[in-house]
Amino acid sequence: MNHACIGITTMMIDLPRSISSAFMQRGLALLTVLSLAFGGSASHAQSMPWINPQVLSTTTGTDVMSIVLQDGAASAGETDEGAAFGSAKGLTARGRQDAGQAAAVDFRYRYSPARTKQNLHSFLARAPNPAARGELEQMFAAQPTLMDDIRASIGPYGLDTHNVADAYAMWWMNAWLVANKRDEVPDAATVEAVKRQVRKAFAATPDFAKTSDAERQEYAEALLLQASMLGSAFEQMKNDPRMLDQLAEAARQGAKASGIDLSKMSLTQSGFVPRKAK
């Protein structure tokens, strides 16, 4: 049986079980926590020096991410949702050039366990009320090796938790899958295509190269936490239509707060492409 989302399956890769158990036990209460965590983290992401709505966004049609989506559609010759997880047609000449430029940029950071502890503390501090902080704190305390577990889970997909572009790719795919209530696992071609898109977008952002290891790690770990919490919640709520609807809405609104309108795109083997208007 396949389960939705990168890094949260119980058969293909191990789910951080404390998160899964916490959602099972607390259900709606932790759905509220997830929504609050999304909002706080989205606001934090927009305060990072190289992130702004004009760069990593899909709202203006002229920003970097919108152009990446359009390029993905041109490469595949498709924009319709019906093509999701369909056949990839390879990179165009421009796509190969963009991929080469992105390859020249280093998206990794020097990992520090001490910073992970600081980042988890900051993630908790951004929860907007004591109840939300308390729920998250219990979850993190029950899984002291959380980031190591996530790293082991997404490695088979060619994703590296110590790479900020890979963390964003994981978050983007999981958010889209949950927002669309898709109980699917992206195949290798789809994951690679999304990784290329994220690298292209980041490489086209001049301030990215100026970011420190600490800034990259903080942003990456916030994305990884969001993605893992979303995926774990989906597994526990997918058979409850009412709660699944609320979770999907939380994913949509959380992404929109970060400048990404998931309703405007489809996920294909050529990456994300604009969703064809019906």
Residue 88 token pair: 């990839």
For residue 264, the one-letter residue type is K
pLDDT score of 77? 60
How many CB atoms are located within 10 Å of the residue 212 CB? 11
Give the contacts of 10 (CB within 8 A, at least 6 positions apart): 3, 20, 235
- Taking the whole predicted model, whether its pTM rises above 0.85 is answered as no
Asked if residue 9 is part of any domain, the answer here is no
The per-residue pLDDT for range 176-215, each reduced to its tens digit, is 999 999 999 999 999 999 999 999 888 888 788 888 999 9
Q: Which residues pair with 272 in a beta bridge?
A: 267
Q: How far is the C-alpha of 4 from the C-alpha of 183, rounded, in Å? A: 4
Asked if residue 201 is part of any domain, the answer here is yes
Asked if residue 59 is part of any domain, the answer here is yes
Asked if residue 132 is part of any domain, the answer here is yes
Asked if residue 7 is part of any domain, the answer here is no
Residue by residue, DSSP assigns 90-126 as: ---HHHHHHHHHHHTS--B----HHHHHHHHHHHHHT
pLDDT score of 33? 52
- Strand locations in the chain (E): 265-268, 271-274
Q: Token match 């949950």: residue? A: 178
Asked if residue 6 is part of any domain, the answer here is no
Distances (CA, A) of 170 to 31, 132, 149, 222: 20, 24, 15, 12
Domain containing 207 equals 17-274
Question: What is residue 278's DSSP assignment?
Answer: -
Question: What is residue 209's DSSP assignment?
Answer: G
Asked if residue 166 is part of any domain, the answer here is yes
Burial 165-191 (b: 16+ CB within 10 A, else e): bbbbbbbbbbbbbbbbbbeebbeeebb
How many CB atoms are located within 10 Å of the residue 43 CB? 13
Low-confidence ranges of the chain (pLDDT < 70): 1-68, 70, 72-103, 278
Residue 177 contacts residue 171 (beta carbons within 8 Å): no
pLDDT score of 25? 46
SS3 of residue 178 by DSSP: helix
Q: How far is the C-alpha of 205 from the C-alpha of 189, rounded, in Å? A: 25
pLDDT score of 99? 52
Q: Tell me which residue of 7, 1, 11, 3 sits closest to 225, measured CA to CA.
A: 7
Report the domain count for the chain. Answer: 1
pLDDT score of 231? 87
